Amino acid sequence: MDRAKARELATALVDQMTLEEMAEQLRYDAPAIERLGVNEYNWWSEGLHGVARAGCATVFPQAIGMAASFDDELIKEEADVISTEARAKYNAYTAEGDRDIYKGLTLWSPNINIFRDPRWGRGHETLGEDPYLTSRLGVAFVKGLQGDGEVRKIGACAKHFAVHSGPEALRHYFDAKSDMKDMWETYLPAFETLVLEGDVESVMGAYNRTNGEPCCANTYLMEDVLRKEWEFEGHFVSDCWAVKDFHENHKVTATSEESAALALKKGCDLNCGCTYRSILAAYDQGLIDKEDIRKAAINLFTTRYLLGEFEENEYDKIPYEVVECKEHLDIARKAAEKSVVMLKNDGVLPLKLANVNTIGVIGPNADSRKALMGNYHGTASRYTTVLEGIQDFVGDDARVLYSLGSHLFLDKEEPLAKEDDRIAEAVIVAKHSGVVVLCLGLDETLEGEEGDTGNSYASGDKNDLMLPKCQQRLLDAVLAVGKPVVVCMMAGSAIDMSVAQDKADAILHCWYPGAQGGKTVADILFGKVSPSGKLPLTFYKNDDLNNMPGFEDYAMKGRTYRYFEGKPLYPFGYGLTYADVKLEAASCDASYTKLAEKIDAGLDAADSAKEKYEVMMESEATVTVKLSNSSSIDAEEVIQVYAKVDSTNETTNGKLAAYKRVAIKAGETKEVAIPVANKAWLVVDESGKRVTGDAKATIIVSLNGVNKCEVNNNGANMITMEI
């Protein structure tokens, strides 16, 4: 069903409703209208990395782990699984008359905010710090969710529109100030892609204000950009209880009626929260008219028709048995394998059972289910922790010793004990082991959403980039034993691993790898799988925070790989494999002058934002890369292409322009052609306009990012050329 037909049907249905019935449909928990055959519908469902909060589901790696794969097709495949399971659960639940929260067909995912500051607690819900990577992975996720059938398989949601990435503690009254350059270079591109290319069904506003106006009633964002420039035809939803913040915290209105009226008139169709219960009172006070209410209701019912709610459709027969089926679990395992990033290896990995009789597994995340999950997760029927994964892998071929080592963040495990009451055991285990796997990090109780999990840090954010002090002491104690140590870091954000980088033998960053993540980690530790993930964000040293803008400052200068002028601990795009893969040569088939002329002509001829976007996403240039694997190990690598246009408007270090994940067998040499979108050759000026640069541009082809770092100067795996 196309949108025009769905809107026609929605209009006919809404026009049969009373004003009171229309108003009630603008709440996230919309009631039934029995006389019109309208069932109750709860719009609030989650699907960030699996169907969430609705019982059993396949649990994929947290979103930041998905991003580490740099694999569009895999992301789309994961999203297709999520939408299939969401449909299956919806079919089964509605057959039982259960239409409760988290059981609908509108998944409020993906989170495409930019992870601009490493302290932000919700960063692990995002697809990283880069606008291009976020755009490409985000649109793949949306297409996987929504499908290509006669009706939408699922209604996806791009959130949180638009300038939003902490601090969590301030979000209900904070004003995020952004100039037009940062807006169009960093904060808007992913939303633009999901609207213009992904045809995303809904957009969710953020809690905070942007440049003075609340994001859920923002003239520039909602009216000028989203509806007028991008011609968005889906529905707009508030973040939960964000409209209530208008009068309680932002103080831009005085009453709930004024808040409801302001949001509705600016284009917020659906209220997650309670404030739209005041819509009829706002109508009585003359703050809104019937057409404001009717317009929003039509937008919402257009979505419901597009989802096939009022007629039989191809997805009605998806059986419940697909939930957590073997095929879906296999995809989750593949996703976890491609997400793990190896940051260091002095030769200890992969572990060889023939050389190791006893393995010590230590740390608060070694046997933790929470460390597998991230937040906004479903419930798996089976979990495999890292400890269990190692035990299962080695079987009777080696002894596995275990110690908790420390609490996740408290100074002791037992209330009546002295500080560090588990460190002695950890030292004993290390002394009796041939190799130690030390599992450190965080979980959703330490980084996440404000008020969501009762975390012990700054409302979900991190105060710094250090591990909790109890884990720092554990790391020092285990390293002091002198045995080979592999650090498995399980966290959704940048952690300062300087001590481990200096003294440990290997480091794997495992993110929150999903329900069966422990099996994947074991497979990588023992060489069944070669690690292939790349960092979708910069890993800084803690002292680097001193040279960054404040957390509350939304200016991008000094932030992320594009603007950071120091040497990070590990750069964006960094990640090692067990194979010896090298870039042998690279070339480009275009000159910048001719590219710029063609792009300028195309943009001048375009009549709409969509046409301009299509010009930008066309490819007039191809980079051809020769890659070799001189080792005896099959591997996958991610070729990264960065562009730096000769212009005062260009970012400090250039920007990601294209990437391609490539499988390369042992001893193989291959050539790979990578198209580069025209957008790579544009820069954003101070007014927010995209323009071409001067007479030349530099292309950087790399396997490990563009920022020189403390652990690798990237010289062997970087080729620079001028066009």
Of 192, 79, 117, 25, nearest to 538 (Cα)? 117
Fill in the DSSP letter of residue 664: E
Active site residues per annotation? 239
Q: At 385, list the tokens.
A: 């922790």
Containing H/E element for 93? helix 72-95
Give the SS3 label for residue 510: coil
The angle subtended at Cα 450 by Cα 449 and Cα 455, nearest 5°, is 85
Radius of gyration for the alpha carbons in the chain, expressed in angstroms and rounded: 26
List C-alpha distances in Å: 644 to 136, 650, 654, 658: 19, 7, 4, 13
- Phi-psi map region of 477: left, alpha, beta (phi>0 left; psi -120 to 50 alpha): alpha
Q: Which two tokens stand for residue 689?
A: 């306009």
Q: Where are the alpha helices (DSSP H) in 582-717?
A: 592-605, 609-617
φ/ψ of residue 716, rounded to 5: -70, -25
CA quadruple 43, 46, 48, 52: dihedral, nearest 10: -160
Q: Are 226 and 196 in contact (CB under 8 A)?
A: no
Q: Which residues contact 439 (CB under 8 A, 6 or more apart)?
A: 361, 362, 363, 364, 365, 366, 368, 371, 386, 387, 488, 490
Contact indicator for 641, 700 with CB cutoff of 8 Å: yes
**Residue carrying the six token digits 């067990």:** 578
Class of residue 34 by CB neighbours under 10 A (exposed 0-12, middle 13-18, buried 19+): exposed
CB–CB of 692/655 below 8 Å?
no
- Helix extents (H) in 107-212: 131-146, 180-182, 189-196
Q: How far apart are CA 218 and CA 210, in angstroms?
A: 8
Query: Which letter does DSSP use for residue 468 in this model?
Result: P
> Which residue matches tokens 């544009």?
682
Alpha-carbon separation of residue 352 from 61, 271, 349, 358 (angstroms): 27, 56, 8, 11
- How big is the chain, counted in residues? 723
Q: How far apart are CA 695 and CA 692, in angstroms?
A: 9
SS3 content of the chain, % helix, strand, coil (to 5): 35, 20, 45
**Distance in angstroms between the alpha carbons of the first and the last residue of the chain:** 46
Please say whether the beta carbons of 561 and 653 come within 8 A. Answer: yes
Q: Among residues 659, 702, 695, which one has the least CA distance to residue 677?
A: 659
Strands (E), 55-176: 157-161, 175-176
> Is omega for the bond preceding 513 within 30 degrees of 0, making it cis?
no
